[in-house]
Each structure stands twice: as structure tokens, then as C-alpha cells.
Structure 1
Amino acid sequence: MLYVNSLRVPAVAERVRKEFADILETDAGRLAEQIALAEMLQAVGRGWYEELAPHLRQRAEELTGVTPPTPPPERDPDMTVPPPRATVATKGSEETVRLSSRRLVMRGPEAGDIDWVTTELQDLEIQRNTTVPSPYARADAERFVRNANTGQRTKFIITESGQRAGAISLHMHDKRAPSIGYWIGKAARGRGIATEAVTRVCRWGFEDLGLPIITWSAKVGNEASRAVAAKAGFQMEGTLRLRSMSQGALRDCWVGSLLPHELRDIP
């Protein structure tokens, strides 16, 4: 993925090829590169990485001596209008991102959300299965709203038909891959809201932010979160022992990750 994204800038691609020459110049390395290019060209046919298409085809022709065909579009024939991209709104001196999907709107947390967040996070199931403070106080909700889009976190309130349903966030980390987290209020569960929200935020991360990977983790036993991640396309990678803090104690957690071409469309 690093190499493929480097194709945007020829000088960067050349540097990457030099640094990984011992791998890329072997038969196995050339085969792996061809497979990666083929997968990315298939993704182009689904409407992703369109700006990379000329570089991908050029490199594929250099490797094989054959100009690769343009893959036929694989978009949903019932989808006459492409999914809306992110919109950016200005609030005071800050810019907040607003995302929309088939049923949902995801917007930045506001002061008017504080009481609702406080009430929803009294749910012991959310406290057990996430890293939110336990017990959860109104001051915690105030902090959630105040720090919603500062530093390396982007947090959203998930709404359906104007009604709040949950929260979701995309976290950037200095020395490890980006990660996603989410919770859904009790009244909104069982309707596929979490899966739709996760898919939309991940697509924003890949297409608008250019992320190469997004990671997921959940406390062992949180089957609902695991099912949501799997439906979105996350690949389960294993269990980490005593790695996540919840309710004042370290817990074992499941981990997984998602690459751009693995993201699934929600029907």
C-alpha cells in the first residue's frame, strides 16, 4: 500500500523502489507487486483511487509489457447518484466535518448533545465494552464535546432522521495506524446503524484523508462490535492480552484492520 500510494509522485515511488529493492527485484517481489497493482486497478473499476489510475496502468505496463484494460464499473446499478462526499462547515474559528449516508447524518458534537450523551452513557453495557469513563458524569460529556475535533481525533454524533443514535470517532496516532471507535444508544440498536456509520466514516478516511489502513479493537466478548466491524470488511487478526483499559482494569481485546479495497458497500 505504501508503494502504490507513492505512485502519485514519481520521485517518491523511485525512492521507495530503491529502499525496498532487495524485495521488489526478486521473483516473489515482482509477483507481489503485480498482484497489488491488479487489486488496485479492480478498485479503480469500483470508483476508488481514480486519481491513481494513470500511474497504476503505467507501472503495470512497465512490469508486464502489456497495457492493462480499464476494468468495467462495478457500481450498484440502482445507485444513480454517487454517495455524497464530506462537507465542511465552519463553526466559530473551527471547521467541522459533516458526513451523510443513505439513512444517516454524522455531524460534530454540540453543546446541545451534552445531556443526551450523559444519559446514554449511563448504560452499563457501553461502559463495560468501551473505554468511556465509568462511572460517567456530565463533566465527561462536556469534555467529549469540547475536545471533539481537537488534536488527532474527529468525533461525530450519528443521527437518523434528525434523532441522535450514537457516536463514532476516527483517531489518528503518531506512531501507530489510525483507529475507529463507536457506540450506539440502546434505542437505536439492531437496525444496522453502526455498520452504516462505520462504513461511511472509513470511506471518508480512505477517500478524503488518504489513509492506507484503519484499525479496530474491542473488548473480548463484545460480539456486537465485532459483527459490525466484520460486516464493514475488517479482517480479524487476533487477541491482545490485557491491552485495553475498561472500568478501571486492563482487559483482553480483539483486534482487526481494514485496507481500502476491503471496505464493503452497504446495500
Structure 2
Amino acid sequence: MITDPAAPPPVVPAGTMAGGDQPVLPLPGRDLVLRPWAPHDAPALLAAGNDSAIRHWNLFSVPDLADAERRIARMHRRWHEESAALWAIADGHHAIGLIGWTDIDLAAGTAEIVYWALPAARGGGIVTDAVRRATAWALDDLGLHRLRLCHSVANPASCRVATRTGYPLEGTMRSALHHADGWHDQHLHAHLAGDPRP
């Protein structure tokens, strides 16, 4: 294999994720954990894919249980491909939300956070706590350098999550998201290794 001597070394070596199992992460101060999605979580994923707010802001739908099961299997493949790390926010056996990283680039040390919560889990700060825990894992355990949090400018709840979890606003990306009601501008927030953590 030929390497470019001028190229910087990878921020995180290839194989760091695929070489082990996806961890279970306790959520401090709560009787909740972040754990890998399991086949028995398919009904929760189906419910999320049919929730109007989750469908609108996250741009996905889940037509049936078979599709939910395929999505869960793909989550596990993406961990081993080192392209994503997605957890269920879980109360014991039951998934009540999703948190995780997509668009992972280990060599560049970057990723984008995604999240949602089912209706019963909204409004109590669970997503905020999950973002903090997932951020700590990405920076301290995995070793990434720059983390992105993006959302429609019409979604102030996500803007509050970003502000509370140490993701300052960097700018607005015009017409970056195509929702059912048209094109939305998108806020770009980011957290760097070394930034203060609330």
C-alpha cells in the first residue's frame, strides 16, 4: 500500500470501532441507558417512523415491522463498517428514543449527531442528557475531533438542545433540507475536542 508522506495520520485509526462491540452507556442521573438497537425494538422504531414530528424533522418513515427490523440490522452493519454508531435510549427493555452518530469519518475525526424521542419521553431533558453522553463517548472514548449538530431553523427545540449541550451556532446553510413542506434553511452547530462542556 502506498501512503502519501504529506498526508496527516488518521485522527482515529481504522478498525477502532469494528474491532469491538458497540458499548452500553449508562445515562448519568437517570435510570436509562444508551444501548445498541435490538430486534425486539422494532415496534418502537415503527412508532417513531409514524410519529408526525419525528417524520417531519428527521425525514424518515418506517412503513412496517419488516422495514423496522431491516433498519435495525443495518444499524449493526454500519457500526462494523465504522460509518455510524446508533443507540436506543432505553428504559430497561423498552426503547424510548434514538441517539447516535452518522457520517463518521475516523480518519478526519468528524461525525454528525442525530436524535429523536418518542412522545412520552419528550420535555424532561432526556435528549439533552443523551446528547451530552454521546458527545463524551465520541470525544473521550472514540477520539473524534469535531462533532456536528444540524437542524432546520424552524425547529427551535433542537436549537435549545444544541445550546444546552455545548454546540455553539456556526452559521446557517441555506436551503439545505428538503422537507415535505419545502426547502428549509439549516443551522450548523459544532463541538470540538477541547471545547468546554456544560
SS of corresponding position for 1:229: helix
In percent, how many aligned pairs have the same letter? 28
TM-score normalised according to structure 2 size: 0.78
1-structure distance, mates of 2:85, 2:142: 12
Q: CA deviation at 1:125?
A: 1.0
2-structure distance, mates of 1:178, 1:234: 13
Distance of aligned partners of 1:126 and 1:158 in 2 relative to their CA distance in 1, 3 Å threshold: same
Residue 177 of structure 1 is matched in structure 2 by: 110
Tell me how large the CA RMSD over aligned residues is: 2.7
Contact 2:113 2:149 in 1 (8 A): yes
2-structure distance, mates of 1:245, 1:143: 25
2-structure distance, mates of 1:97, 1:245: 33
Q: Deviations over 1:88-137 (max 9, x none)?
A: 9xxxx97222111211300011110001210132111111111323xx31
Residue 216 of structure 1 is matched in structure 2 by: 149
Q: Deviations over 1:197-245 (max 9, x none)?
A: 0000110000011111100101121111111111000010121112124
Matched to 1:240, the amino acid is M
1:105 and 2:48 are equivalent in the alignment: no
2-structure distance, mates of 1:140, 1:246: 21
Contact 1:109 1:157 in 2 (8 A): yes
Aligned residues: 175
1-structure distance, mates of 2:118, 2:33: 15
1:239 and 2:189 are equivalent in the alignment: no
Unaligned runs of 5+ in 2: 1-6, 9-16
Give the structure with the larger strand fraction: 2
Q: Deviations over 1:153-179 (max 9, x none)?
A: 111000135542200121204779311
TM-score normalised according to structure 1 size: 0.59
SS of corresponding position for 2:197: coil
Distance of aligned partners of 1:243 and 1:176 in 2 relative to their CA distance in 1, 3 Å threshold: farther
SS of corresponding position for 1:190: coil
1:127 and 2:55 are equivalent in the alignment: yes
Which moves more between the two structures, 144-153 or 161-170? 161-170
